Amino acid sequence: MAGVRIPFTGTNLSRPFTSPTPSAYLRPTIISGVAQNLSYWDSIHSDIDSHLKKVIPIREPISVFEPMHHLTFAAPKTTASALCVAACELVGGNREDAIVAASAIHLMHAAIYTHDHLMLSNSLQSNPETEPKISHRFGPNVELLTGDGILPFGFELLAGSMDPAGDNSDDILKVITEITRAVGSQGMVAGQVSDVEFDQLSGQTRRCLHGCGAACGAILGGGSHDEIEKLRRYGSIAGKIQGLLSEMDRNEGSKMQIAEKWRDLALKELEYFDSKKIEQISTLVRV
Amino acid sequence: MAGVRIPFTGTNLSRPFTSPTPSAYLRPTIISGVAQNLSYWDSIHSDIDSHLKKVIPIREPISVFEPMHHLTFAAPKTTASALCVAACELVGGNREDAIVAASAIHLMHAAIYTHDHLMLSNSLQSNPETEPKISHRFGPNVELLTGDGILPFGFELLAGSMDPAGDNSDDILKVITEITRAVGSQGMVAGQVSDVEFDQLSGQTRRCLHGCGAACGAILGGGSHDEIEKLRRYGSIAGKIQGLLSEMDRNEGSKMQIAEKWRDLALKELEYFDSKKIEQISTLVRV
Identity (one letter) of the amino acid at B167?
A: D
Is the CB of B115 less than 8 angstroms away from the CB of A145?
yes
Whole-number Å distance between alpha carbons of A111 and A107: 6
- Contact list in A for residue B145 (CB cut-off 8 A) is 115, 188, 198, 201-202
Residue B120, phi then psi, degrees to nearest 5: -90, 170
Is the CB of A156 less than 8 angstroms away from the CB of B193?
no
List of residues 6+ apart from B127 with CB closer than 8 A: none
Whether A235 contacts A83, CB under 8 Å: yes
Whole-number Å distance between alpha carbons of A218 and A65: 32
List of residues 6+ apart from A195 with CB closer than 8 A: none
Q: Say how many residues make up chain B.
A: 287
What's residue A62's pLDDT?
Answer: 85
| Least Cα separation, residue A273 to chain B (angstroms) | 30
Which of B34, B36, B30, B64 lies closest to B48 in space, CA to CA?
A: B30
Q: How much is the average pLDDT of B6-28? A: 33
Strand-pair partners of B120: A120
Whether B24 contacts B48, CB under 8 Å: no
Residue A228, phi then psi, degrees to nearest 5: -60, -45
pLDDT in tens, A10-26: 333 333 333 333 333 22
What's residue B133's pLDDT?
Answer: 54
The SS3 of residue B56 is coil
Chain B segment 51-70 residues within 8 A of A by beta carbon are 61, 63-64, 68
Cis peptide before B7 (omega within 30 of 0): no
Q: If you ran DSSP here, which 8-state letter would residue B27 be given?
A: S
pLDDT in tens, B241-286: 888 887 766 556 678 888 899 999 999 999 999 999 999 999 999 8
B179 in contact with chain A, both atoms CB, cutoff 8 A: yes
The SS3 of residue B6 is coil
DSSP per-residue codes, chain A:
-PPP-----S-STTSTT-SS-GGGGGSPP--GGG-TTS-HHHHHHHHHHHHHHHHS---SSHHHHHHHHHHHHHSPP-HHHHHHHHHHHHTT--HHHHHHHHHHHHHHHHHHHHHHT--BSSGGGG-TTTSPP---SS-HHHHHHHHHHHHHHHHHHHHHT--TT-TTHHHHHHHHHHHHHHHTHHHHHHHHHTT--GGGHHHHHHHHHHHHHHHHHHHHTT--HHHHHHHHHHHHHHHHHHHHHHTGGGS-TTHHHHHHHHHHHHHHHHTTS-TTTSHHHHGGG--
- Contact list in A for residue B166 (CB cut-off 8 A) is 169-170
Is the CB of B124 less than 8 angstroms away from the CB of A141?
yes
What's residue B50's pLDDT?
Answer: 97
Whole-number Å distance between alpha carbons of A153 and B234: 25
What's residue A223's pLDDT?
Answer: 97
* pTM: predicted TM-score of the whole model, two decimal places: 0.78
Whole-number Å distance between alpha carbons of A184 and A247: 24
B127 exposure class (CB count in 10 Å sphere: 0-12, 13-18, 19+) = exposed
| Least Cα separation, residue A188 to chain B (angstroms) | 7
B123 exposure class (CB count in 10 Å sphere: 0-12, 13-18, 19+) = exposed
| Least Cα separation, residue A31 to chain B (angstroms) | 27
Q: Give pLDDT tens digits along chain A (287 positions).
A: 333 333 333 333 333 333 333 333 223 233 444 444 579 999 999 999 999 999 998 888 888 888 999 999 999 999 999 999 999 999 999 999 999 999 999 999 999 888 888 876 654 444 555 455 566 788 888 888 888 889 899 999 998 898 877 788 889 999 999 999 898 767 666 544 443 444 444 456 556 899 999 999 999 999 999 999 999 999 999 988 888 887 766 556 678 888 899 999 999 999 999 999 999 999 999 87
pLDDT in tens, B186-222: 766 654 444 344 444 445 555 689 999 999 999 999 9
Q: How much is the average pLDDT of B76-104? A: 96
List, in sequence order, every beta strand (DSSP E) within chain B.
none
Identity (one letter) of the amino acid at A162?
A: M
- Banded pLDDT at B120 (limits 50, 70, 90): low
Q: If you ran DSSP here, which 8-state letter would residue B2 be given?
A: P
What torsion do the CA atoms of B280, B282, B284, B287 make, to the nearest 10 degrees?
-130
A244 in contact with chain B, both atoms CB, cutoff 8 A: no
Highest mean pLDDT among A176-180, B10-14, B137-141: A176-180
- Contact list in B for residue A147 (CB cut-off 8 A) is 148
Dihedral of alpha carbons A108, A164, A232, A22, sign: negative
Of A73 and B58, the one with more pLDDT: A73
Of A139, A148, A150, the CB nearest to B122: A139
Whole-number Å distance between alpha carbons of B255 and B91: 32
The number of beta carbons lying within 10 Å of the beta carbon of residue A39 is 20
Which of A148, A141, A137 lies closest to B124 in space, CA to CA?
A: A141
What's residue A244's pLDDT?
Answer: 81
Is the CB of B185 less than 8 angstroms away from the CB of A156?
yes
B125 in contact with chain A, both atoms CB, cutoff 8 A: yes
For residue A184, what is the nearest residue in chain B, using CA coordinates? B149
B173 in contact with chain A, both atoms CB, cutoff 8 A: yes
Is the CB of A156 less than 8 angstroms away from the CB of B184?
yes
Which of B287, B284, B193 lies closest to B11 in space, CA to CA?
A: B284
Is the CB of B180 less than 8 angstroms away from the CB of A155?
yes
Which of A88, A151, A13 lies closest to B152 in space, CA to CA?
A: A151
What torsion do the CA atoms of A81, A83, A89, A93 make, to the nearest 10 degrees?
-50
Of B64, B122, B139, the CB nearest to A140: B122
- Crossing angle of helices A201-220 and A225-246, in 10° steps, is 150
- Contact list in A for residue B61 (CB cut-off 8 A) is 189, 192-193
